[in-house]
Amino acid sequence: MMFLVATIALLVVVLLMLVRAFMGPTFVDRILAINGVGTATVLLIALLGFLTSRPEFLDIALLYALINFVGMLAILKFFRFGDLGEEDEG
């Protein structure tokens, strides 16, 4: 019962963060909301692995957290510099 409540609470949090991502007035609000969705997804994967007694889901959750982190860095670099690392021609 307690894990069902935790799952529902996480899904509500994800829904609220998605609303913030779509309606956020600034770019920073949208980035923070998407990063929060990624973090909540990691928690949901770990919770699902615990509920189904499958510890390999923790590996998947860690991999997803790493992909989320690297993706956020790439998005922030793209919006800061306009590209992801073009070579200088001079």
**pLDDT of amino acid 89:** 63
pLDDT band of residue 90 (cuts 50, 70, 90) is low
Other beta carbons less than 10 A from residue 87's beta carbon: 4
**pLDDT of amino acid 1:** 82
pLDDT band of residue 88 (cuts 50, 70, 90) is low
Angle between helices 27-51 and 56-81 (to 10 degrees): 170
**pLDDT of amino acid 79:** 86
- The conformation of residue 84, written as its DSSP 8-state character, comes to S
Assess whether pLDDT exceeds 80 at residue 86. no
What tokens appear for 25 in the block? 């007035």
Question: Would you put residue 85 in left (φ > 0), alpha (ψ -120 to 50) or beta?
Answer: left
